[in-house]
Amino acid sequence: MVKSNPNPVTIAESATTTIVLDVAGMKCAGCVGAVEKHLLAEIGVKSACVNLLTGVAAIAAERETVTAEKLAAKLTAKGFLTQPRIVALNQNRSHQRQTKYAQASKQILWQLITAGILLGLSAVGHFTQPTTHLHHGYSALNNFWWHWGLATLAIAFPGRSILVDGWRSLWHGNPNMNTLVGLGIITSYTASVVALLLPNLGWECFFEEPVMIIGFITLGRTLEQQAKHRAANAFDRLLSLQPTSARLVSPDPDRPQEIEIPVEQVKVGEYLRVLPGEKIPTDGAIRWGETTIDESMMTGESIPVFKQLGDVVIAGTVNQSGAISIEVTRTGDDTTLAQIIALVEAAQTRKAPVQKLADTVAGYFTYGVLAIAILTFLFWYFIGIHNPSLDPSASSLTPLKAAIAVLVVACPCALGLATPTAILVGTGIGAESGLLIKGGDVLEAVYQLDTVVFDKTGTLTEGKPQVTDILTSDTISATELLRLAAAAESVTNHPLATAIQQEATRLDLHLPIILNTLTQVGLGVAAEISDHSTSAEIPVQVMVGNQRWLAARQIEINTDWQITADRLTSQGKTLVYVAIDGVMMGLIGVTDRLRSDAIKTVKQLQDMGLKVVLLTGDRQPVADLIAQQLGITDIQAEVLPQDKARIIQSLQVNQISPDLPYKVAMIGDGINDAPALAQADLGIALNAGTDIAIEVADIILIRDRLLDVVYSIQLSKATLTKIRQNLFWAAIYNLMGIPAAAGLLYWYGWGTMLSPSAAGAMMALSSVSVVTNSLLLKLTRRQQISIEN
């Protein structure tokens, strides 16, 4: 059985520093490779990792040798507008982002409308294009001049940015997907214009091709922008957990004067006052007062924690009940909240193997296609047209037609559609079934999965305390004890009190009238109750709380009660003691119950050959009990929030074959799970969880059903299979289409030269085939998974 290391992660001093840059202008995997190449070429840079989606570059560099400003200036000069990332927690960063994305939202709407119009009109062109030059008798939509006008407008407006960026990237020696797409647009448009103006050449126009390319690219870029906005907004919400101000007070509690200052100006060793309902401004230790703290933001545990003199409090957690003064121990980037943000961002910059492969290939594909087109032209110009055995014989325009056909047929439409169409269909099916899958690298991680790690609270359990046991003396019934306890607890909203009240409501119990109450934070409630349902005229004195509360009120807890309490505690239950008129009368056990489908989910994952691990910040006895019920033998208990990502990383290490790391999935719901979700090869978050966990995760269980973890793996594998089929077809298409366009079949007497219009048709056919194959995913039907035995 695996046990956790309670020591937190520390950041060791070294000769290197981490520089974070915001990089704009990256369009594809080729851009990522170019940015990394430029960074690594700088003296003093040891490593660089670039994330295309978030536009973040993380660089490990020698201290005092390389500056963020210098690297940003270099990338900007290379065509990638870059600026140093402001990593401090502040509201300005969030405000600036929100302003930027609000301005971009209107542009996104127009891009979606433009993409829809272009795709619709290009589809009309596919089905209504005349087969002869300026064929008469057709409507305006069938006229070549109409298609010329549409293509011209598409290139001049929505396509302009593609062409400009493609040319700029090529000029700087960093060809990207815009370069490839731009070549396809320009060559197909140019060939069509030549055919339109010179009908004697006998070429066919295919103006709908550049329109369709621009439409698909516009749609894809719009969806990419939206994904970036959602990710950034989630981080903004995480940043907003940090209060903007703090109340600075004197260490002397007899001097109540306080001064409100910005939280960025707080220093270690100073004293701060925190009132009920406010967030803790910094990490610190309580020096005056006592209270309960809602630490669910950090620990994922729903029950507030009682805090008193000397106890540690964490920035961003919520003070619930009492006024306290804390001594500041950590500020700014050193707080636990700041470290979680740093861990999430660092983990997100990791690359999937498929992305690394794309980074390598994308930069060379453009050069390869250009080289083949040039070689094709030269071959036919100097050799091909002089071959008298060709039937029909080659004309003087054959070299130009062949070169254009190579460029048109090699347009990366099929390659570009292979992944997004399959993902679109797969995620659509998933959404109908309660799943959300994010991207192709997610599917690859699912396919190679070895280990599944579950957070406990709110994931395997319901996240809401419930009454499980009511044990009483012989002189009172369980329902009567619960009725009196619920009445006393009605004056507080503590989660344990809420659980008792909900149980009384479930049993439809009538609560008596409360005359007087006394509440002590973190201990319990004493209430004077008048019950008109009985003949008793003397009010009943009821005390409900923990053992300390009853002991302080001189309530005797005999050996039998102590044995019973120890037994329930060993089962991982939280106990509420109830005394009536000064006599111990009963115990109420409260626990967070397992989800109804938790056991079946774990079993099915284990039946699939996956290793299942339980990860929790809860006590070891509770973790052991939960693991025993679920049939899990690998347990990581009492884990600190900053330790979770490190533990996931350790599970990824393959001691036998270090070059083949294990693929680990993490399933959680809280902010404290976010670094682990990002560190894992596959992050799965419950929709009931926090926004940041949902945004960092790769798969979201929309309907909050744990058993959907199993189906998400099944659907992901089916979708990845379609992606691989699409990529295989796209590759075979290029391997066959480019030689055919270059005239290989014509040279060996197996057919005629492939015209540019036929090449365009082949490209369209490849796109249609890829989309059709993706739509076949709809034939996949979810297996009915029953939670019944």
Q: Which residues are catalytic?
A: 455
Provide the total of helices (H) and of strands (E) in the chain, helices listed first: 25, 26
| Cα angle 451-452-454, degrees, rounded to a multiple of 5 | 145
Terminal-to-terminal C-alpha distance of the chain: 28
* Calpha distance 29→358 (Å, rounded): 6
| Cα angle 395-399-403, degrees, rounded to a multiple of 5 | 145
CB 408 within 8 A of CB 191: yes
Provide CB contacts within 8 A for 496, sequence distance 6+. 303, 465, 489, 574, 576, 590
Amino acid 481 reads L
Q: Which two tokens stand for residue 302?
A: 């729903």
Residues 100, 104, 105, 110, Cα dihedral to 10°: 170
If DSSP states are collapsed to H, E and C, what string results for 508-576? CCCCCEEEEEEEECCCEEEEEEECCCCCCCCCEEEEEECHHHHHHCCCCCCHHHHHHHHHHHHCCCEEE
Strand 283-288, strand 271-274: pairing? unpaired
The number of beta carbons lying within 10 Å of the beta carbon of residue 606 is 15
For 137-176, where are the alpha helices, taking DSSP H only? 144-156, 160-171
* Calpha distance 29→22 (Å, rounded): 17
* Calpha distance 411→219 (Å, rounded): 17
SS3 category, 101: helix
CB 733 within 8 A of CB 770: no
* Calpha distance 260→272 (Å, rounded): 9
Complete DSSP assignment for 567-633: HHHHTT-EEEEEEETTEEEEEEEEEEEEPTTHHHHHHHHHHTT-EEEEE-SS-HHHHHHHHHHHT--
Residues 231, 233, 235, 238, Cα dihedral to 10°: -140
* Calpha distance 194→183 (Å, rounded): 16
